[in-house]
Homo-oligomer: A and B are copies of this chain.
Amino acid sequence: MNDTAPKDPGGEARVRASFAAQGLMETLGASLVSVSPGLVEIALPASRAVSQQHGFVHAGAIASIADSAAGYAALTLMPPGAGVLTAEFKINLLAPGIGERIVARGRVVKAGRTLTLAQTDVFAVRDGTEKQIALLTATLMTVAGRDRVSD
């Protein structure tokens, strides 16, 4: 790195590189909207490709982007070289996933040395209006010193 190299104070480059390596996000068609310290937003266009049997967005697709948003929100506050793994998450589905687009906004509730608690609010966007459709709560683990698990 030299003097003209871009800085990454919010961890955006790190999150973008890791997100690009998540094959599932590409398969679902999800994109990383924004990254700032402790906050990450991911969007997913609604389509038959991510649907459940009634045509709504599948709870699993909603959980997938919500889990990634929580995990990356946590990663922005982890030391360089550490990797992030989800230990557990819980998701409450509040309303069917109906709309043009699903937006997941992850935020860190408490960053700990080993465990971080994060939440993701998930919204369906329909005709320009957002409606909350899910709330995910996740425990993320900071993994250090494992070659395969570094972000």
Residues of A within 8 A of B (CB): 18-19, 21-24, 26-28, 47-55, 58-61, 63-65, 67-68, 83, 85-96, 109-110, 112, 114-115, 117, 119, 132, 135, 137, 139, 141, 148-151
Judging by beta carbons under 8 Å apart, are B132 and A110 in contact? yes
Give the interface centre of A51, A88, A91 by most chain B CB atoms within 10 Å: A88
The answer to whether A60 and B64 have CB atoms under 8 Å apart is yes
Describe A's contact surface by its main secondary structure: mixed
User: What residues of B have a CB within 8 angstroms of the CB of A112 in the complex?
Assistant: 94
* CB-based contact B22/A52 at 8 Å: yes
Instruction: Report the Cα distance A50→B25, complex, angstroms.
Output: 8
